[in-house]
Structure 1
Amino acid sequence: MVRPPLTPDERARGHRLGAHLRAARGERSLPEVAAASGIGVETLRKIESGRVPTPAFFTVAALARALDLDLDQLAAALDPAPVGALSA
């Protein structure tokens, strides 16, 4: 089965996810967070750099748990503002 290419919006969302996770990791090392979430260091590195723009749900959930992030807030942070939304 051939996977369709990602759209520019999907790639941008992957970069936003990576940036958000990097910021949440703060001073913690890649190996520390990878071990706490049960994923490989290289996998975390690829997610943070945007090279894996669509990680599996359970990977994101494990990272959110390890970084003490709320999944609803994380999802909201990754989606651009809806068309027509007013800024505060």
Structure 2
Amino acid sequence: MVRLPLTPEEVQRGQRLGALLRRARGDRSMLETALDALVSPETLRKIESGRVATPAFPTIAAIADVLGLSLDAVWAEINEPPPGTGRATARTAPQRLAS
């Protein structure tokens, strides 16, 4: 199977996800967190470093659960547009009513 290259937006989203997980992990060790989430420490390291920009949903769900993060909070944070882009997201775009 050939995997398509990641878009710049996917890469940035992966970097935001990694930063969020590192902050949420705090002083807790990467090894402890990974083992509690039933993922390999190498997988967690790659996600936190942004090397795996599009990890599997069950992997993120398990890590978020261990770190006490809601999936809604994870989704909201990783999909924030970079400051100053002025780009509206589906969540913040004004809704148009059909007439």
State if a TM-score over 0.5 links the two structures.
yes
**Matched residue SS, 2:6:** coil
CA distance in structure 1 between the aligned counterparts of 2:71 and 2:6, rounded to whole angstroms: 23
In angstroms, what is the RMSD of aligned CA positions?
1.6
Matches within 5 A, 1:1-88: 1-81=1-81, 83=88, 85=92
Detail structure 1 runs of 4+ shifted over 2 Å in the superposition: none
In 1, distance between residues paired with 2:9 and 2:67?
A: 25
Aligned partner of residue 51 in structure 1, secondary structure: coil
Higher helix proportion (structure 1 or 2): 1
Deviation of 1:3 after TM superposition, in Å, equals: 1.2
Q: Which runs of 5+ in 1 are unaligned?
A: none
- Bigger-Rg structure (1/2): 2
C-alpha displacement at 1:17, in angstroms? 0.2
Instruction: Report the TM-score when normalising by structure 1.
Output: 0.91
How far residue 80 of structure 1 moved from its aligned partner, in angstroms, is 2.1
Taking only the aligned residue pairs, the percentage that are identical comes to: 55
Instruction: Output the TM-score relative to the length of structure 2.
Output: 0.82
Aligned length: 86
Letter in 2 for 1:66: V
